[in-house]
Amino acid sequence: MKSFQLVLVKPSHYDDDGYVIRWWRAMTPSNSLAAVYGIAVDCAERQVLGPDVTIDITVIDETNTRVDVPALIARFKRQGNFGCVGLIGVQSNQYPRALDIARAFRAEDIAVAIGGFHVSGCLSMLDGHAVDIDLCRDMGITIFAGEAEGRLEHLIADVAAGRAQPVYNYIKDLPGIEGTPVPFLPKKHVERTLGTSSSFDAGRGCPYQCSFCTIINVQGRKSRYRSADDIERIVRLNWAQGIRKFFITDDNFARNREWEATFDRLIELREKDGIPLGLLIQVDTLCHKIPNFMEKARRAGVNKVFIGLENINPDNLAAAKKRQNKITEYRKMLLAWKEQGILTIAGYILGFPADTPETIRRDIEIIKEELPIDLLEFFCLTPLPGSEDHQTLWRNSVAMDADLNKYDIEHVCTAHSKMSMDEWQEIYHEAWGLYYTSEHMKTLLRRAAATGVPVGNLAKYLLTFSTTDRLEKVHPLQGGILRLKRPSERRPGMARESPWLFWPRFGWETLAKHMVLLGALARLTMWQAAIRYDPRSQSYMDQALMPVGDDEDETLDLLTKTTGARAAVSHIKKVEELTHARAI
């Protein structure tokens, strides 16, 4: 019996000091890895290489597990190099690290294939060579652009027969995903992430056209979805191994055409079968207008929702073609989630054309005062390869940072008309501190207690969100517990440090960081206890929690401070007047 070695590696990327970002426990599991693993297991079960060949699958998420290259090479050697390394879900920022991993395997003549958003985005929007894509060709790495459902078996068969092509390009041929193998990871991998939650994409594709977005150019604008039966299968497979929490990774679950059937099935699993589901979903800012959406979300087990708020200045939203985001609806939408007792997380992008450090500082204060958001995450507007923004700059030969490792939406990669690149980068880091002040964290805990959001749960997230950028210099989504490093994992081209210097410094840094974390934890625990025992906490009220009133367009800074906001309000008034006039 021959054994085909399929090693699936989700690469991490390098931090600013050139060390691979890896944790004892990483924040979130990789859904790309779960998706490709599910398809690979199906290939193995169907014996796609024939009855006398087994497919031996190894899964490595580099954010929580070291890629032991020599051990893997030895394993390939024992099988006569019969197999392939698959570099999975490689984003632009992970592309340099992915190639560094590949280099060692290619030197031993082991087949390597790469897929994910970088290669898919570049092949979708550029000329098929730009942005370092030719490095793969030079190294003999197979490029796989597009989705693997129904295709992975062809790649495996070609590798096994020694006839792998340099490029497989399925980007213009998006498969239906209903009834295809479902994303899945065995528990031993899921346990390496915080909170032991797993993930699945219930659907792909988004109808909108935001110019900074890569998703629509890789996964398309049409809604493709898994069936309710598929969803039930995912839940049951995981529940059988004791996993009940999921991140549903659809970029905009509210626009998944099957959202209601999916929620109905999840409600059934929760209410009839007693599976205590806990879900995180991502939605747009108009989801409160979909009848039953929020109420069903709560019943299905959604306890956290991520909202792509992006900005509160309509001029900026218009510049990014994100016209569907209406600031006049933000409060209604957020209060509606609060009514369901669901924790709200909003993404906020810094560096739109009208932004300056001063306006960013002002806007963060407005959000703190007037919008009932629990957690706010900051990102730098980045021309990600695969987005319309990147394509425009590339076509016009505008300078962009050549180091792809920086395209993690935390580093500034191109110039801004109103801020220097340094000012932009500084205000990005400052933003975290401006939002997560002690005073505001206490307010957030009070708001949670008053609206039925679990205070302990929020406190846990506040600990991470208020400290990760400051202590670890990475975004919380890339964070985890206990940073792990090795001198040997430094980026090629950067000097290898002496172990005598490296290890004492690493030990000291780890200790110092954990002292700060313990202090932050103690403070959050104290505030939490004070709120719990305060009899007035249920009746807490502030401007953000106040029901939407008729005079807000004159009283709220959100609707008066920017030119765009004033224009948006007067537009709405005009529409209302016309509709009213017609009704009379």
Binding stretches for ligand B12 (CB under 6 A): 12, 28, 30-32, 35-36, 63, 86, 88-89, 91-93, 113, 115-118, 120-121, 144, 147-149, 152, 155, 201, 214-215, 219, 249, 251, 384-386, 407-410, 475, 477-478
- Shortest Å, Cβ 323 to ligand B12: 19
Which residues have CB under 8 Å from 107's CB, separation 6+?
none
- Shortest Å, Cβ 314 to ligand B12: 22
- Shortest Å, Cβ 91 to ligand SF4: 15
Read off the tokens for 48: 């796609």
Report phi then psi at 383, rounded to 5.
-75, 85
> What whole-number distance in Å separates Cα of residue 412 and Cα of residue 409?
7
- Shortest Å, Cβ 101 to ligand B12: 13
Q: Does 35 bind ligand SF4 (CB under 6 A)?
A: no
Q: Which stretch binds ligand SF4 (CB under 6 A): 202-210, 257-265, 404-412, 471-479?
A: 202-210
- Shortest Å, Cβ 21 to ligand B12: 7
> What whole-number distance in Å separates Cα of residue 46 and Cα of residue 2?
16
Q: Does 208 bind ligand SF4 (CB under 6 A)?
A: yes
Q: Which is nearer to ligand SF4, 308 or 351 (CB)?
A: 308
Q: Which stretch binds ligand SF4 (CB under 6 A): 210-218, 258-266, 392-400, 495-503?
A: 210-218
Q: Which is nearer to ligand SF4, 384 or 445 (CB)?
A: 384
> What whole-number distance in Å separates Cα of residue 5 and Cα of residue 113?
13
Q: Does 252 bind ligand SF4 (CB under 6 A)?
A: yes
Cα angle: 510, vertex 463, 239; to 5 degrees: 100
Q: Where are the beta strands (DSSP E) in 216-336?
A: 224-225, 245-248, 278-283, 302-310
The alpha carbon of 129 is separated from its chain's Cα centroid by a whole number of angstroms, namely: 27
Q: What is the DSSP letter of 14?
A: B
- Shortest Å, Cβ 204 to ligand B12: 6
- Shortest Å, Cβ 398 to ligand SF4: 21
**Which three-class secondary structure state does DSSP give residue 23?**
strand
Residue nearest to ligand B12 (CB): 115
- Tokens 């609707």, located at residue: 559
Which helix (H) or strand (E) segment holds residue 490: the answer is none
Q: Which does 249 bind (CB under 5 to 8 A by kind): ligand B12, ligand SF4, none?
A: ligand B12
Q: Does 213 bind ligand SF4 (CB under 6 A)?
A: yes
Q: Which is nearer to ligand SF4, 282 or 340 (CB)?
A: 282
For residue 200, what are the β-bridge partners? 248
Q: Which does 206 bind (CB under 5 to 8 A by kind): ligand B12, ligand SF4, none?
A: ligand SF4
Question: Quick one: which of 308, 347, 383, 564 contacts ligand SF4 (CB under 6 A)?
Answer: 308
> What whole-number distance in Å separates Cα of residue 518 and Cα of residue 521?
5
Q: Does 215 bind ligand SF4 (CB under 6 A)?
A: yes
What is the end-to-end Cα distance of the chain in Å, rounded?
82
- Shortest Å, Cβ 70 to ligand B12: 22
Which residues have CB under 8 Å from 363's CB, separation 6+?
311, 312, 313
Question: Quick one: which of 210, 277, 346, 462 contacts ligand SF4 (CB under 6 A)?
Answer: 210
Q: Which stretch binds ligand SF4 (CB under 6 A): 185-193, 208-216, 235-243, 534-542?
A: 208-216
Beta carbons of 248 and 295 less than 8 angstroms apart: no
Beta carbons of 471 and 517 less than 8 angstroms apart: yes
Phi-psi bin for 565: left (phi > 0), alpha (psi -120 to 50), beta? alpha
Q: Which does 36 bind (CB under 5 to 8 A by kind): ligand B12, ligand SF4, none?
A: ligand B12
- Shortest Å, Cβ 205 to ligand B12: 9
**The residue type at 281:** I
Q: Which does 210 bind (CB under 5 to 8 A by kind): ligand B12, ligand SF4, none?
A: ligand SF4
> What whole-number distance in Å separates Cα of residue 577 and Cα of residue 255?
30
Q: Which is nearer to ligand B12, 139 or 477 (CB)?
A: 477
Q: Which does 445 bind (CB under 5 to 8 A by kind): ligand B12, ligand SF4, none?
A: none
**Which three-class secondary structure state does DSSP give residue 53?**
strand
Strand 203-204 vs strand 224-225: parallel, antiparallel, or unpaired?
antiparallel
Which residues here bind ligand SF4, judged by CB under 6 A?
206, 208-210, 213, 215-216, 251-252, 284, 308
